[in-house]
């Protein structure tokens, strides 16, 4: 089962070595607001986008049948060629829905 979005946010923050107080400068949210987001969740989409930016991350919808591939990439279990990396940077949706371009 996937970890909750709240847990992913907290994990990312701690990976980066940030404290909740650090997020005030990174997001413009008060420490209390950020703490509430991590503990109780249910933020608005624009709030999630602000938090993601503050964590040097992006929000993304991943089709269910592609989640395992993304997880493998994130765990460095799959090597991606330079050409594929370039393609993903210019068109991250390429081949996601079975298209060939």
Q: pLDDT tens-digit profile of 11-33?
A: 999 999 999 999 999 999 999 99
- Those residues with Cβ within 8 angstroms of residue 41's Cβ, 6 or more apart along the chain or in another chain: 4, 5, 6
**Looking at the predicted structure, is the pLDDT value of residue 93 above 70?**
no
User: 0.75 cut: is pTM over it?
Assistant: no
- Residue 13 near residue 56, CB atoms below 8 Å: no
Q: Please report which confidence band the pLDDT of residue 43 belongs to, taking 50, 70 and 90 as the band edges.
A: confident
């Amino acid at each position: 089962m996937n970890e909750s979005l709240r847990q992913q946010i907290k994990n990312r923050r701690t990976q980066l070595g940030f404290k909740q107080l650090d997020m005030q400068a990174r997001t413009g949210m008060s420490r209390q607001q950020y703490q509430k987001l991590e503990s109780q969740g249910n933020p608005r989409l624009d709030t999630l986008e602000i938090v993601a930016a503050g964590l040097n991350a992006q929000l993304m919808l991943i089709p269910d049948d592609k989640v395992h591939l993304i997880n493998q990439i994130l765990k460095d279990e799959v090597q991606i060629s330079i050409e594929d990396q370039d393609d993903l940077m210019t068109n991250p949706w390429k081949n996601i829905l079975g298209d060939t371009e």
